[in-house]
Chain A
């Protein structure tokens, strides 16, 4: 290959080789994901897979807002919890039985979380940067307290019961897995289409320089708020599935501080602001965390390992796994080009 063709390959507009591989891999990956419960029917494994899919959807949704707009929201557990409580309340109010059709409620719960996201976003998005981060954390704690105290809706710390599914124990996880997978694919598809749209470009412009974007005619508040609501509703859907899986909703499970940071971590690990980065991050972190929790009975070891792995990744792959690898790849191409021109 001459140096010139390599230079063309470096052009971001041209489709590089590995991009074509990616496109070919996507249908295979989706097929494999759907076939997963048939290949590995061990309930311990399918349960881990189910949690991975829930987190995959949530972290993609988080990245959709925070990764693209640059606003670090650390309160997405609010929407997760809202989705969970919406699910519990709807099933209780209409005396629904636990069958497969209950999954149809998941989008409704997502809608509820999206509605909650509107006033929160309106309030929090008046600020920027660190203040925004802290306000989202504060709002999270308000919701956690409300979950304990608004006993009319949440039944306080006694929690709410969700109808238990009618299908058998052997395939118990599989239905939840498929539902979570569908939500996760939906989140990835949303990120992809937003990333490729004008709307997504406006978001990226806000991330790079909000004042300038505004000066150029981007309706920044509207764009940010809409994305925040979309992100919140997808997170709410994940929460609803989680509630159905657990069979009950309690404040500490629905509004979990660690959830906020975990999804942010996953997105960071894979590559913030990319479509596939959060997917990769969730696929790495969630199974390893679940595995560590199973492996070590003393929670201390799992925490230390998790923290250390995390530190190492930030130290050596600061932009996340995907962008760092892409950089390495680009460097390699460049050095090869230099050798070729000699």
Chain B
């Protein structure tokens, strides 16, 4: 919808802090906590859309969406810094440290559970976008905003739901991220650069592309880290990104942008 959400990185961190707080202060297991954090993140997303994105003018929307979401992420970063300071935190639970032995490999439970959670979320997202009424409205709005409005789709509602779902998805992602990495409010810069790059590599607006790009990114990084050296892992990925973009400027599955008129 011509919106680039830079705040997604800080939303992941916000979700991680929510899970962390629920666990430390109320002793709620992070996975159970998802039942609470997912709706909270959904509301946060809707509020951001309602408060800031909806009020953008149509002209130059993309550029302004970057600025507005960046400002939102600065504010959230400030609030998190105020409450939690910049000390590194990590979510701990019994399954974070324990591992399971699979074919001579020790696999931490959390990676397994994270994988399952990611698969479930992705499948749910797919069902939502391609099988439900709201999903059809979202896709219609992406294809042609004016046309969608003409056939009676409430663009504002669709936009709010899209933002809400995008934010709600960070609840699970943030929890797993917080359990497998240590984080502080600054971590979001790393995250957002990666997220953006993965989305562009896959092609904007394509779920399958994003999935493939995410797998590609991590496989390239890990293989480079083992075969060559860990310090070149990310560089290698970015280099591959550039090569792909030279051949396919709109990403792997991106459609060529229509002429703006």
Contact = CB atoms under 8 A, between A and B. Distances in A.
A100 interface: no
A261 B73 CA distance: 12
A229 interface: no
A209 B259 CA distance: 9
B82 A131 contact: no
Interface string A291-318: 0000000111111111110110011001
A131 B68 contact: no
B223 interface: no
A126 B246 contact: yes
B189 A149 contact: no
A148 B231 contact: yes
Contact of A131 (B67, B78, B80, B204): B204
Interface string B248-261: 01110010010101
The interface size bin for chain B is 35 or more
Q: Chain A at the B interface: mostly helix, strand, loop or mixed? A: helix
B231 A299 contact: no
Given A145-B238, A257-B193, A311-B68, A72 B63 contact: yes
Interface stretch (A40-48, A133-141, A217-225, A321-329): A133-141
Interface string B60-90: 0011101110111111011111110010000
29 contacts: A72-B63, A126-B246, A131-B245, A134-B197, A135-B245, A137-B196, A138-B196, A138-B238, A138-B241, A138-B242, A141-B234, A142-B238, A145-B235, A148-B231, A149-B232, A211-B259, A265-B67, A268-B67, A300-B79, A300-B81, A303-B81, A304-B74, A304-B79, A306-B78, A307-B74, A307-B75, A314-B71, A318-B56, A318-B64
Interface of A: 72, 74, 123, 126-131, 133-135, 137-139, 141-142, 145-146, 148-149, 209, 211, 257, 261, 264-265, 268, 298-308, 310-311, 314-315, 318
Given A128-B257, A133-B4, A264-B67, 8 more contacts: A126-B246, A130-B200, A131-B251, A134-B197, A138-B196, A298-B82, A307-B77, A314-B68
